[in-house]
Amino acid sequence: MSDIGIKLIYWDRVLEAGFWILVTLFFYYLALRIQRALGGTPLANPVLLASAPIIGLLWGADIWVGDYQQGGQALIWLLGPATVGLAVPLYRNFARVRPALLPMAASLVAGSAVAVLSAVLIGDAMGASVETIRSLAPKSVTTPIAMGIADAIGGFPSLAAAFVIITGIIGAVFGAFVFNAMGIRDARARGFAMGIAAHGIGTARAFQEDEVAGTFSGVAMALNGIVTALVLPLLWLAFAG
């Protein structure tokens, strides 16, 4: 193939990726407006509202999901800098975080273990394949980490990403209702639990409630990602061969 042909293909992919990024941002903006118009209810989760028309567009126009992911990969890359940006509210609220380090450590161990074990047990009970269970296990960490873990333990990275998004939406939508039903009012506890269970999507919801809750959620999301990425592949290889 000539150099001109290669350049045309390259720029075609760049333009296609840019188009899908704009489509995603457009629908997400509309979803945010809808949620605000409805009073900020968690039932109108912007990720859920934005995903529905995009899925409908891809399905209705018979567009391969891989074409959409040309732009999605760029947005996934931005999760890294966004996570680092959580250091700002952490710095502002560090005086509240420091006294809670011990309970946070205990909650992290318990929450990380439950997140993984519940996924494995539910998948096994439903008769899922081994590969599907391996993709489901890291459902409560951020997408890039979950995809890496799934690949390391023999799962499907793309399927892991889907499970992560579904988990985050469920946590963001129903988390506050669960906390209220259980009488959990402490913003620190609500935020930390949300971060462990529902990663970045849950953290975004926690920040909508309270900056302290969002800060603790961001800390939990980061720590859970580190612990799960380090421990889960080792345990899986040790016990599952």
Per the CB < 8 A criterion, the answer to whether 198 and 170 are in contact is: yes
Q: Which range marks the domain in which residue 213 is found?
A: 78-241
Per the CB < 8 A criterion, the answer to whether 125 and 105 are in contact is: no
How many angstroms from the chain centroid is the CA of residue 51?
A: 14
147 and 217 part of one domain:
yes
Residues 189 and 186: their CA atoms lie apart, in Å, by 5
117 and 203 part of one domain:
yes
196 and 148 part of one domain:
yes
33 and 64 part of one domain:
yes
| CA distances from residue 236 to 25, 107, 127, 230 in whole angstroms, order as listed | 37, 22, 19, 11
112 and 38 part of one domain:
no
Domain boundary among 42, 77, 112: 77
CB atoms within 10 A of CB 193: 24
222 and 233 part of one domain:
yes
The whole-number pLDDT of residue 99 equals 84
Domain boundary among 36, 54, 77: 77
| CA distances from residue 35 to 28, 39, 46, 152, 208 in whole angstroms, order as listed | 10, 6, 7, 37, 11
- Which residue, chain included where needed, has tokens 């959620």? 217
- Which residue, chain included where needed, has tokens 């407006």? 33
63 and 127 part of one domain:
no
102 and 123 part of one domain:
yes
The whole-number pLDDT of residue 101 equals 84
Residues 10 and 140: their CA atoms lie apart, in Å, by 35
Q: For the full predicted model, state whether its pTM sits above 0.85.
A: no
Per residue of the chain (241 residues), what is the pLDDT tens digit?
556 655 555 555 666 777 888 888 899 999 999 999 998 888 888 888 998 898 888 888 887 777 777 766 777 777 767 767 767 777 777 787 788 888 888 999 999 999 999 999 999 899 989 999 999 999 999 888 888 899 988 899 889 988 999 999 999 999 999 999 999 999 999 999 999 999 889 998 998 888 889 889 988 988 888 888 888 888 777 666 5
Residues 17 and 15: their CA atoms lie apart, in Å, by 5
Residues 27 and 54: their CA atoms lie apart, in Å, by 8
Domain count within the chain: 2
